[in-house]
Amino acid sequence: MSSTSVSVVVPCGGREREPRPTLDAIARYLETTGFTFEILAPQDETFGGALRRGVSDARGGVVVIVDPALPYPVSAIGDAVAMVESGATDIVFASARADFRGSALLRALLVPIVPDPRVHLAAFSSSAAKIVVAESRLVSRGVELEIAFLANKYGFRIERLVVGDGARSRSFGAIGGLAPAIAIRLANRRNAYRAARRCPVCFSHEVWSCAQIPGNVVRACRRCKCRYLNQFTDGESGQPVRRVLRAHTDSAPPSYESHSPSAREKTSLRRFNGLRRQLPLRARVLEVGVRDGSFGAIAEREYEYVGIDPASAAARHARARGLDVYCASLSSFVNTGPAFDGITLFHVFENMADPHDALARIKELLKPGGVLFLSTFDTEGLIYLFSEQKRMAQNFRTHLVLYSRSALIELLEHSGFEIDDIGPDFEYRDHKFLRHWLASHHPLLAPLVNAMLRLLPDPLIVSTGSIRIVAKRRAGMSANARAIRSVEPTHAR
């Protein structure tokens, strides 16, 4: 097994001389770790210039930036390297206290995670260092704020490391950091930095990291209001759609299994009644994502039903109910019959890595005038907005992209569909599930609501913050047909 390669950069800006005692202490420590290492002490007229020169010359897989005065234990370098090398994070910012958050003013102007101005210790993966530090422009100590801003802009994950000690003086404060923060914002407005990876929905560059969840980063698009995972892939080998995770925990069972069969069947019946109003008897229907097969069991009584699901367990369960279901993804499914009159995707569209390819494939499977039934979360809805921060990890447990109402409308219209109906989506939930949800999220309201539930039917129809869209395929070319595909992949660094 090859050892970890580490580049330690000790930038010396201005009149600072090469800190020989610090370099010797770092070398003695790294010799005890088994790392393959190099120690660089670049000198320049400015701190920012020395920092960029050192990172440019670094050849290690992990790049560590160290204060020339070394006011913290030298073992903190090893701790920072271990965090990056484990794959749990891309960037490590050291801080003197575990509860450090930084100036509220700077966090409001720039990003939620800012470095501790008293502790000048940071570690980067090689790719993160080459991108973030190389794109920086400032020459003063404010470059540390710029690095934090660029790390958020480019979607790198940041974790903190508590070292306990720091410098006596701050490199910037709430007021002293104001000028660099404004300069960073103005430079970003002038497009002085490399553009971020585009939104996979609208291909806008106006994206930022809005949250960090276990093993991933959630990105948000200012233009289309969508939320999506920074790293994901779709399963093309008969496996459920999964995120690309690092240091992930075991996945929980699918959410629909937490609801009673009666609740799922009532929800499926409600969806089927909406389908019946749009399609004639004996029409050909494709369900993408059969889940427990309850919708297919109802639909196959009146329609020529076909279902597909990339999860082999779900496909086997549905076939056991006598349904015509195939274990396949939307892109790999081969339709051996005539085009479909209707296609349904109930909370499945969020699991597809490329919405443009998915809609193009759906259009191929639908006959002209065919109907698409789609239900998904709405990031512009009040329920989502009020619960976003608390349920961020839960929302992205299996989902890859969460869409806004406006983004879906634009996406469908550009893909050759005409919106026929749009409105809130309702589902049935049994009282047991509602009591458990209230006890865990709103314990103060639980006694009152539990008393009210005794007077209400079980299961109960509730709003989940989702929307349902009914769209018809237009005949001929898509409206406003244009090349909307990007030359480079939207998720390539």
Say how far apart CA 348 and CA 356 lie, in whole Å: 14
Q: Are strands 91-95 and 121-125 parallel, antiparallel or unpaired?
A: antiparallel
Q: Who has greater pLDDT, 262 or 150?
A: 150
pLDDT at 249: 42
pTM: 0.83
**Do the Cβ atoms of 286 and 340 come closer than 8 Å?**
yes
Domain 255-473, what fold?
A: Rossmann fold (3.40.50)
The label of the residue with tokens 């006959």 reads 367
**124, pLDDT greater than 60:** yes
Residue with tokens 């329609």: 303
Dihedral Cα 424, 427, 433, 436, nearest 10 deg: 0
In this predicted structure, what is the pLDDT of residue 347? 94
Question: What span, in angstroms and rounded, lies between the C-alpha atoms of 484 and 196?
Answer: 17
Residue 292 CA to residue 42 CA, distance in Å, equals 61
What mean pLDDT is predicted for residues 98-111? 89
Kindly tell me if the per-residue pLDDT of 489 is higher than 50.
no
> Of the candidates 244, 288, 269, which has an alpha carbon nearest to the alpha carbon of residue 426?
269
Task: Please say whether the beta carbons of 181 and 110 come within 8 A.
Answer: yes
Which of 335, 462, 365, 347 lies closest to 403, judged by CA? 347
Instruction: Report how far residue 34's alpha carbon sits from residue 312's, in angstroms, rounded to the nearest whole number.
Output: 45
* pLDDT of res. 267: 92
Q: What pLDDT sits at residue 233?
A: 58
Residue 253: predicted pLDDT: 40
* DSSP letter (8 states) at residue 2: P
- Distance in angstroms (rounded) separating the CA atoms of residues 58 and 156: 19
Q: How many CA atoms lie within 13 A of 204 on its CB side?
A: 15
| Token pair belonging to 252 | 């929980």
Cα 472 from Cα 187, distance rounded (Å): 45
Structure token digits, residue 399? 């989902």
Percent of the chain clearing pLDDT 70 (strictly above): 88
CB under 8 Å to 155, separation ≥6 — which residues?
Answer: 196, 197, 207, 209, 217, 219, 230
Q: Tell me the average pLDDT of the chain.
A: 86
Q: What does DSSP assign to residue 349?
A: G
Instruction: Inform me whether the pLDDT recorded for 483 exceeds 60.
Output: no
pLDDT of residue 487: 37
Q: What percent of the chain has pLDDT over 90?
A: 62
pLDDT at 131 over 60: yes
CA distance 188 to 60: 29
pLDDT recorded at residue 477: 57
Inform me whether the pLDDT recorded for 243 exceeds 90.
no
Give the pLDDT mean for 209-225: 92
Identify which of 459, 480, 465 has the alpha carbon closest to the alpha carbon of residue 417. Answer: 480
The 10s digit of each residue's pLDDT in 426-472 is 999 888 888 887 888 778 888 888 888 888 888 889 888 899 999 99
Q: Using one digit for the tens of pLDDT, what is the confidence trace for 414-430?
A: 999 999 999 999 999 88
Residues in the chain: 493
Confidence of residue 262 (pLDDT cuts 50, 70, 90): confident
pLDDT at 248 over 90: no
pLDDT tens digits, one per residue of 36-87: 999 999 998 888 999 999 999 999 999 999 999 898 999 999 999 999 999 8
Rounded mean pLDDT of 232-253? 42
10 Å Cβ neighbour count for 447? Answer: 10
Could you tell me if residue 16 is left (phi over 0), alpha (psi between -120 and 50 degrees) or otherwise beta? beta
Q: In the chain, what are the domain boundaries?
A: 5-189, 255-473
What phi and psi, each to the nearest 5 degrees, are found at residue 387? -110, 5
Q: Which strand (E) or helix (H) includes residue 43?
A: strand 43-44
Place 252 in a pLDDT band, splitting at 50, 70 and 90: very low
Q: What is the pLDDT of residue 327?
A: 94
- CATH classification of 5-189, choosing from 3.30.365.10, 3.40.228.10, 3.40.50.300, 3.90.550.10? 3.90.550.10
Interatomic CA distance for residues 102 and 115, integer angstroms: 7
CA geometry: angle 57, 139, 84, nearest 5 deg: 50
pLDDT tens digits, 288-299: 999 889 999 999
Average pLDDT estimate for 16-32: 90
Do 317 and 292 meet the contact criterion of CB atoms below 8 Å apart? yes
Q: Report the C-alpha gap between 91 and 126 in whole angstroms.
A: 10
Indicate if 255-473 has the same CATH topology as 5-189. Answer: no
Q: What is the pLDDT of residues 319-357, one digit of tens each?
A: 999 999 999 999 999 999 999 999 999 999 999 999 999
Residue 210: phi and psi, rounded to 5, are -100, -15
